Amino acid sequence: MRNFILGVIITLLLLFLGGLAIATLGFLPTTADSTPPKMERRLAMSAMDASMERHAPRVTSPVPPTDDNLIDGMKIYTMNCAGCHGNLDNKPSPFGGSFYPPVPQLIIHPMDDPEWHIYYAVRTGIRYTGMPAWNKTLTEQEMWKVTTFLTRIEKLPPAVQDYWKKSFAVAPPVASPDGEEHGHHQ
């Protein structure tokens, strides 16, 4: 039994050292324009979700979803987020796909994460993705306003939808009762 356990430990140690050697000798691709392997995508997304679950406090927004706050959130998004995550013209960002991993296009594919999750990502950033921590640039109020906007992007009140249409000459995405997006893909 002792030899078996020693064999398992040596095997694990060799696998670890082999992986370390592959990584440090430059055999892993580090280019931002290559497609990540499925295993890497799964591992990265699982690690990010697990980290959010463990570290992000389940806080409730102190910013009510009023028309003014949603419009402010839309403006903050346009000024700070649209360059990477897609503008309100319903077109993908011209360089969002140049990142590794590619940047989520939040207007074309709105998020369905809880508000606390989005706020935490905005506030603290996401390591190894190019997503900065906005808590050094935006106020708490501004981060909550953009979070409030992003969590309600498919169910904006009529006045906010009108502001979007007047400002960007396109309709915002709208969720139908069946959960499908309408208003910008067709």
Residue 136 lies in a domain: yes
CATH number at residue 141: 1.10.760.10
- Structural domain boundaries, residue 132: 65-182
Residue 83 lies in a domain: yes
If DSSP codes are grouped into helix, strand and coil, which group holds residue 137? coil
Residue 116 lies in a domain: yes
Q: Is residue 78, in this structure, part of any structural domain at all?
A: yes
* Residue 50 located in a structural domain: no
* Residue pLDDT tens, the chain, 186 long: 889 999 999 999 999 999 889 888 888 777 777 777 788 888 888 988 899 999 999 999 999 999 999 999 999 999 999 999 999 998 999 888 888 888 999 999 999 999 999 999 999 999 888 899 999 999 999 999 999 999 999 999 999 999 999 998 999 988 766 655 444 433
| Residue 36: inside a domain | no
* In-domain check, residue 130: yes
pTM equals 0.81
Q: State the total domains in the chain.
A: 1
Which of these, 112, 109, 85, lies nearest to 184 by C-alpha position?
A: 109
